[in-house]
Amino acid sequence: MYKVFVNDKPLFLTNQVEKETDFKLFLLESVDIEQLIIRMFNNKVKKAFLYHPDEKETLKKLKEKIPVAKAGGGLVYNKKGEVLFIFRNGKWDLPKGGIEKGEGIEDAAIREVEEETGVKNLKITQKLQKTYHVFKRNGSYKLKVTHWYEMKTDYKGKLQGQENEGIEKVAWLNPEEIKEALTNSYENIKLLFENMKVPTEG
């Protein structure tokens, strides 16, 4: 099952119909995706399931209905085991950004972390899961697929938030601070910490 977040509300792509009553179920083949997204953005729908019998096809079908934007981002550790966070739009987030033409996803992820935080000497240690969320740009909705990488660095220099991207703060957070930050973050960011040893329950 895939989880796509729309205004931080979950839209599940599934091949199973569960006997629940507190969510909306739509057929992926026939759903008016824009109408559903608008209703989720307006808090009319809190969570929804998009059903398709073949689970492998669910994401492909969704991508046929909505333009896709690819991004790369980093879950960056320093030598102390702290994680690099940025603060923008009133929430804690991880550095990430769009892929430029002709650029590889890994290169984009490293470039975006450097640009948004000022951190250098980044080394990718492993590929993490992808996250999916819908955003609105210039009046139309897009599906952002973010490829996440675990990175390590020995950088000890100044942290510098990218002002033109609206980044107010950049900080190295320890496990206790991460727990606190995740109470004011995005659902797709929390997903990345589910498999870590950091307790995410507030």
Is residue 77 one of the residues assigned to a domain? Answer: yes
Q: Structure pTM?
A: 0.90
Residue 197's pLDDT is 54
Q: Are residues 60 and 76 in the same domain?
A: no
On the question of pLDDT at 53 being above 70, the answer is yes
Buried b (16+ CB within 10 A) or exposed e, 185-201: bbebbebbbeeeebeee
Residue 179's pLDDT is 95
Q: Are residues 81 and 175 in the same domain?
A: yes
Confidence bin at 1 (pLDDT 50/70/90):
confident
Q: Are residues 60 and 75 in the same domain?
A: no
Residue 182's pLDDT is 97
Q: Give the chain's domain count.
A: 2
Pairing of strands 9-14, 48-51: parallel
Give per-residue pLDDT as tens, 132-148: 999 998 889 999 999 99
Residue 20's pLDDT is 64
Q: What is the DSSP letter of 100?
A: P
Question: Residue 47: how many CA atoms within 13 Å on its side-chain side?
Answer: 12
CA 107 – CA 86 distance, rounded (Å): 20
